[in-house]
């Protein structure tokens, strides 16, 4: 229960917002948010994505170390909790701009490491990679607490789904471009200077993103009236808000399932399938095309259909995906190009759609009063699970290294066990998604009918020649 006279919500989730008009256009200046997202997406995948995983592998990183690299960014989001109390004093834009600027400096430091091959051995360079990644992700983790409250305040409720779809499209298109570019630049046997150029490009794109970040319209923080208050934040009361609590449970189970998939499918392609760095990145880039397709699939529909049925479909899709990877790891399927591209495309699509629906539902159920702290707790819980996930899976994969036997035609090894357990977590998430509260959402059957039957029919009618 919320404290009497406190600052927590008094408007119920199923009550309409007080605004009379339903805006259909994005607010002036919001196009800068899309440009910021695009240039930022040309930068961060190099530092926290598959290129960094591959660089760490050249330095001899184990699965546990790869898990630490993959989990570091979400783990350090925990610093949003203390940082949220300063948003009212500093402001959203200044907070994000400072953090994004500082982290760009650490990318320059990463660019220098590959050039120290003759000075430092691989172990020392890997240690410095971890140190610089910690500093990079710490600055990002602190400053990111301002982004969601800023955008939620700036974008009207009736078009948030459309905004998120376009934002995801910008990010995935830029991700696809940069991963393909890096794949072609690295080739089969990349030299250290090629990795250095890759990181310098990341720093340059990060600097460009700051130009557009500064042009996004600022808004008044909701915590401005409380910035000088000594009243403690009732975190327990926030977490017990019923619709929010159910969403938090989903954001524990889903990240634990998905957190290690990108890193360890990349490691599997490199080590088990024997692909070069360039080949791994080219195959992985298809995931971003899958993410880009969500603009067509859900862009115009999410605000109308709701997030809950979308999440149910996504969790079912994820179970199919991990079954495919399990068949590959168990040598039931061969790692042919069509199989790998299909799995990567579905991974990108399912990841983008899940993130989009999850974020829109959070925007819908989090009340205005206390919004900064609700979002901070939401982000920290989800990212802690996302950060712990690859570390725990990495330890498990290293521990099961000797496992290798055949059972009814399936080769049981460390990766088949990994994918099987991930599938169990997706099944748990599916059950938790069924308990979510979203009064305006349609049923899962209605969503499938819209996507699989009605939308293709409308497309055919538009293409059919008219007399």
**Residue 231 within any structural domain of the chain:** yes
- The CATH number that applies at residue 66 is 1.20.1250.20
Assigned token pair, 379: 């982000």
Spatial neighbors of 327 by CB under 8 A, at least 6 apart, are 333
Nearest to 125 by CA among 184, 56, 172, 206: 56
**Residue 24 within any structural domain of the chain:** no
Is residue 458 pLDDT above 70, yes or no? Answer: no
pLDDT of residue 295: 63
**Residue 10 within any structural domain of the chain:** no
**Residue 25 within any structural domain of the chain:** no
Nearest to 129 by CA among 202, 40, 47: 47
Q: Where are the beta strands (DSSP E) in 295-427?
A: 404-407, 410-413
Give the domain extent around 232.
32-460
CA distance 132 to 113: 10
Q: How many domains does the chain have?
A: 1
Give the pLDDT mean for 396-409.
87
Count of H helices and E strands in the chain? 23, 2
**Residue 2 within any structural domain of the chain:** no
Q: What is the pLDDT of residues 87-98, one digit of tens each?
A: 778 888 888 898
**Confidence at 299, pLDDT banded by 50, 70, 90:** low
Q: What is the pLDDT of residues 56-95, one digit of tens each?
A: 888 888 888 888 888 888 888 888 778 777 877 888 888 8
Assigned token pair, 43: 């930068």
Among 362-366, 397-401, 462-466, the minimum mean pLDDT is found in 462-466
pLDDT of residue 408: 82
Spatial neighbors of 221 by CB under 8 A, at least 6 apart, are 87, 88, 91, 92, 149, 372
**Residue 467 within any structural domain of the chain:** no
Report the percentage of the chain scoring pLDDT > 90: 22
CB of 168 closer than 8 Å to CB of 356: yes
**Residue 317 within any structural domain of the chain:** yes
**Residue 5 within any structural domain of the chain:** no
């Amino acid at each position: 229960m919320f404290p009497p006279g406190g600052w927590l919500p008094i408007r119920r989730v199923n009550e309409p917002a007080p605004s009379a008009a339903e805006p259909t256009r994005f607010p002036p200046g919001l196009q800068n948010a899309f440009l910021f997202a695009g240039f930022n997406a040309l930068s961060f995948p190099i530092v926290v994505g598959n290129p960094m995983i591959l660089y760490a592998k050249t330095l001899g990183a184990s699965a546990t170390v790869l898990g630490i690299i993959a989990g570091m960014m979400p783990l350090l989001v925990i610093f949003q909790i203390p940082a949220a109390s300063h948003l009212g004093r500093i402001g959203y834009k200044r907070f994000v701009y400072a953090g994004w600027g500082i982290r760009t400096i650490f990318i320059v430091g990463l660019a220098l490491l590959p050039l120290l091959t003759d000075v430092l051995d691989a172990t020392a360079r890997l240690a410095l990679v971890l140190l610089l990644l910690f500093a990079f992700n710490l600055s990002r983790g602190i400053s990111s607490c301002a982004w969601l409250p800023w955008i939620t305040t700036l974008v009207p409720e009736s078009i948030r789904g459309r905004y998120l779809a376009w934002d995801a499209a910008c990010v995935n298109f830029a991700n696809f471009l940069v991963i393909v570019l890096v794949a072609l630049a690295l080739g089969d046997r990349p030299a250290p200077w090629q990795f250095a150029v890759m990181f310098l490009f990341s720093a340059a794109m990060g600097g460009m993103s700051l130009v557009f970040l500064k042009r996004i319209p600022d808004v008044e923080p909701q915590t401005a009236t409380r910035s000088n208050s000594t009243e403690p934040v009732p975190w327990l009361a926030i977490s017990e808000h019923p619709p929010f609590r159910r969403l938090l449970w989903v954001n524990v189970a889903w990240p634990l399932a998905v957190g290690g998939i990108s890193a360890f499918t990349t490691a599997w392609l490199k080590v088990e399938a024997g692909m070069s760095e360039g080949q791994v990145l080219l195959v992985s880039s298809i995931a971003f095309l899958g993410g880009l397709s969500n603009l067509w699939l859900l862009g115009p529909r999410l605000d109308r259909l709701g997030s809950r049925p979308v999440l149910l479909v996504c969790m079912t899709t994820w179970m199919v995906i991990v079954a495919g990877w399990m068949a590959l790891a168990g040598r039931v399927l061969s790692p042919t190009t069509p199989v790998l591209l299909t799995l990567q495309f579905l991974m990108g699509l399912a990841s983008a759609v899940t993130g989009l629906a999850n974020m829109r539902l959070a925007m819908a159920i989090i009340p205005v009063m206390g919004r900064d702290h609700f979002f901070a707790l939401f982000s920290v819980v989800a990212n802690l699970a996302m950060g712990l996930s690859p570390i725990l899976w990495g330890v498990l994969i290293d521990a099961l290294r000797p496992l290798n036997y055949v059972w009814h035609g399936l080769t049981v090894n460390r990766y088949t066990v990994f994918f099987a357990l991930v599938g169990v977590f997706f099944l748990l998430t599916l059950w938790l998604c069924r308990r979510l509260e979203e009064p305006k959402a349609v049923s899962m059957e209605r969503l499938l009918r819209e996507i699989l039957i009605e939308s293709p029919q409308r497309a055919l009618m538009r293409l059919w020649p008219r007399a």
